[in-house]
C-alpha cells in the first residue's frame, strides 16, 4: 500500500527551532505520521509548544542557544541520550535581519550566517555521523525562495539560504550512495513571525501577493505534507533536491 511509504512510526526526529511557526508545524506533522520528536529551541515558547504537541505524540523539548557552537553539541548529545539514535533531522531554526546592504551591520551578518548556515552544517555533520554508521537517515534542510533570487534588504538571509541549497547538494553528492537522503524544502512567502516586518510593509506585501497564483500567502500547515514526504520512505530515491512549496510564485 502506497500510504505505508509515508508512515514514520518509531522514527526518531530532531527539529531545530520547533517552538512556533513553520518549525512547530513540522514537529506536528512528524508526530502525526508516527515519529517521536525532539525540539531544540531557545524560545520561551518551548514548554507551551511541547505541551500542545504532546496531544499528537511523544515529544521532548531541549532548550539551547543554537548561535553558540558548544550549545549545539550539547543539545545534539542530549537528543541522542533521550532517543537513542536519530533517523530524521529537520534544520529549521533561522533568523533574519533587515537593512539596506550599505548599512547592514557586520554583527547582524555574522549572526544570520552562524544560525542559518553554519549551524545547519554543524547539525548535518553530527547527525550524518550517526546516520552513515547505520546506513540510513533523512536530512531536511529548510531553504527559501531566496535560495533562487536575491530579495530586498536581506543580504545575509539571502546568502545563508543560497548556501543551504548548495550545502544540501554537496552533502547529497557524498552521502546518497551511503543510504542518507539530504534534501531541502523551500517555503514560499509564509505568514509567520519571521515575516512580520514584510507583512507590515503594505506596498511590498501587495507586490508579493500579486505574484502568487494561489492568491494568498502560505500557512505553516501548507508545508506539512511535503515535509513528511521528504522524511519518509516515499522519497528514498530523492537526493539533493530543493522542493519548492510557494503557491506558484516561482512559476509566475
- Give the mean model confidence (pLDDT) for residues 39-60: 96
Say which CATH number the domain at 30 has.
3.40.50.720
- Give the mean model confidence (pLDDT) for residues 190-196: 78
Distance of alpha carbon 79 from alpha carbon 173, whole angstroms: 27
Domain limits for position 175:
2-245
Q: Are 85 and 77 in contact (CB under 8 A)?
A: no
Q: Give whole-number Cα distances, 55 to 51, 79, 166, 246, in Å.
A: 8, 20, 36, 29
Query: What's the total number of domains in the chain?
Result: 1
C-alpha cell at 93: 531554526
Q: Give the residue from 170, 217, 210 showing the smallest Cα distance to 191.
A: 217
3-state secondary structure (DSSP) of residue 8: coil
Inside any domain, residue 252: no
- Give the mean model confidence (pLDDT) for residues 213-227: 95
Q: Is the pLDDT of residue 54 over 90?
A: yes
pLDDT of residue 87: 98
Inside any domain, residue 251: no
If one counts every other C-beta atom within 10 angstroms of the C-beta of residue 188, the result is 21
- Residue-wise pLDDT for 102-124, tens only, equals 999 999 999 999 999 999 999 99
Inside any domain, residue 250: no
Average confidence score pLDDT of the chain: 96
- Residue-wise pLDDT for 143-168, tens only, equals 999 999 999 999 999 999 999 999 99
Active site residue 249: no
C-alpha cell at 86: 536519530
Inside any domain, residue 186: yes
The catalytic residue among 157, 189, 237, 249 is 157
Q: Are 77 and 101 in contact (CB under 8 A)?
A: no
Largest Cα separation within the chain, whole Å, is 56
Distance of alpha carbon 90 from alpha carbon 65, whole angstroms: 17
Distance of alpha carbon 208 from alpha carbon 197, whole angstroms: 13
Q: Is the pLDDT of residue 19 over 80?
A: yes
Amino acid at each position: 500500500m502506497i500510504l505505508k511509504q509515508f508512515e514514520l512510526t518509531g522514527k526518531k526526529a530532531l527539529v531545530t527551532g520547533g517552538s512556533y511557526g513553520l518549525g512547530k508545524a513540522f514537529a506536528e506533522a512528524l508526530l502525526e505520521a508516527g515519529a517521536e520528536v525532539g525540539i531544540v529551541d531557545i524560545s520561551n515558547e518551548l514548554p507551551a509548544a511541547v505541551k500542545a504537541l504532546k496531544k499528537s505524540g511523544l515529544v521532548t523539548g531541549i532548550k539551547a542557544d543554537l548561535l553558540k557552537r558548544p550549545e549545539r553539541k550539547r543539545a545534539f548529545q542530549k537528543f541522542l541520550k533521550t532517543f537513542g539514535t536519530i533517523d530524521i533531522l529537520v534544520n529549521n531554526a533561522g533568523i533574519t535581519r533587515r537593512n539596506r546592504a550599505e548599512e547592514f551591520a557586520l554583527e547582524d551578518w555574522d549572526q544570520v550566517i552562524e544560525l542559518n548556515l553554519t549551524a545547519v552544517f554543524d547539525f548535518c555533520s553530527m547527525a550524518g555521523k550517526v546516520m552513515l554508521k547505520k546506513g540510513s537517515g533523512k536530512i531536511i534542510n529548510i531553504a527559501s525562495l531566496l535560495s533562487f533570487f536575491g530579495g530586498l534588504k536581506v543580504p545575509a538571509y539571502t546568502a545563508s539560504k543560497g548556501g543551504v541549497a548548495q550545502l544540501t547538494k554537496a552533502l547529497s553528492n557524498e552521502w546518497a550512495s551511503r543510504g542518507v537522503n539530504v534534501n531541502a524544502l523551500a517555503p514560499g512567502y509564509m505568514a509567520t513571525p519571521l515575516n512580520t516586518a514584510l507583512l507590515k510593509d503594505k506596498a511590498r506585501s501587495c507586490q508579493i501577493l500579486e505574484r502568487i497564483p494561489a492568491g494568498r500567502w502560505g500557512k505553516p500547515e501548507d508545508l506539512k505534507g511535503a515535509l513528511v514526504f521528504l522524511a519518509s520512505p516515499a522519497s528514498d530515491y530523492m537526493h539533493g533536491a530543493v522542493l519548492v512549496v510557494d503557491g506558484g510564485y516561482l512559476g509566475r
